[in-house]
Amino acid sequence: MAGTDHTRESEQETPAAGPAIVLVTPQLGENIGTASRAMANCGLSDLRLVRPRDGWPNPTARAAASGADFVLDQARIYDTTEEAVADLRHLYATSARRRDMVKPVLTPRAAAAEMRQITPGGAACGVLFGPERTGLENEDVVLAQALIAVPLNPAFSSLNLAQAVLLVAYEWHLAAIPDPGRELNLAGSRRATTEELLNLYRRIEEDLIEGGFLFPPEKTPIMIRNLRNIFQRADLTEQEVRTLHGMLRTLARRRNRVG
């Protein structure tokens, strides 16, 4: 079907489906459910099941999906892996161990970038996952253009099925959004301006000089610099500057009363 008008049409109908997740003879309904939840977490919805051991539908899968019912409702069931992937144009096989096959091996991150490049919506791509205990059969692996291997602790590399689905789906999801790195959650306020900060620092310093803390005088510039650096690192908001002004007012009143 690849390249036909029919395929183009179905791509338009479900534009953001992302790559298909193909579970080959999965054993535990619970893993099907948690895999569906992981797919939903990462915006994927095209789930395909090849001969699920306990039949279909599976109430255990639904219970474990924690609300990702839309993934299970759309899941398609197949008798063979070949049928399950017939309409796909680029296929990966996940594998925990090196196979005796000449095949490209990608990390989930590299595979995600590749799938995004092959089709922006990933609709023509699919990832095969084998049954819990044994992994994929070689006959299934050979259907794929490449392998995906998750780089893990070599001493303990057996990954739960749903965890493997999560890592592939997570990298797919992240590949399309820029990593913000480190952001400051401002909780409704805004960063203080330099003027607001300098006003605060001057007030603290006047209070400290008045109270005799900044002593001896020759050390005062260094002490002021160190104090300012503590507050500079805190990246204060306008609201926090006002709170600190209020604190200083209270402390000054208390000192005047005590004095």
The residue from 10, 12, 14, 66 that contacts a copy of itself (CB under 8 A) is 66
Confirm if 255 and 206 have CB atoms less than 8 A apart. no
Least distance between a copy of itself and beta carbon 55 (Å)? 24
Least distance between a copy of itself and beta carbon 66 (Å)? 7
Q: Assess 151 for contact with a copy of itself (CB under 8 A).
A: yes
Tell me the window of 19-27, 52-60, 180-188, 219-227 that interacts with a copy of itself (CB under 8 A).
180-188
Distance CA(259)–CA(254), nearest Å, equals 8
Least distance between a copy of itself and beta carbon 124 (Å)? 18
Distance CA(179)–CA(184), nearest Å, equals 14
Nearer to a copy of itself, 83 or 139 (CB): 139
Q: Assess 152 for contact with a copy of itself (CB under 8 A).
A: yes
Spell out the residues 6+ positions from residue 241 whose beta carbon is closer than 8 angstroms to its own.
Answer: 192, 196, 197, 199, 200
Helix (H) or strand (E) holding 128, with range, is: strand 125-129
Choose among 59, 55, 26: nearest CA to 164. Answer: 26
What is the separation of C-alpha 14 from the centre of its chain, rounded to a whole number of angstroms?
Answer: 23
Confirm if 130 and 94 have CB atoms less than 8 A apart. yes
Tell me the window of 84-92, 109-117, 222-230, 248-256 that interacts with a copy of itself (CB under 8 A).
109-117
Least distance between a copy of itself and beta carbon 98 (Å)? 6
Residues lying near a copy of itself in the complex (CB under 8 A) are found at: 34, 37-38, 40-43, 66-68, 98-107, 109-110, 114, 146-147, 150-153, 156-160, 162-163, 166-167, 170, 173-174, 177, 179-189, 235, 237, 239-240
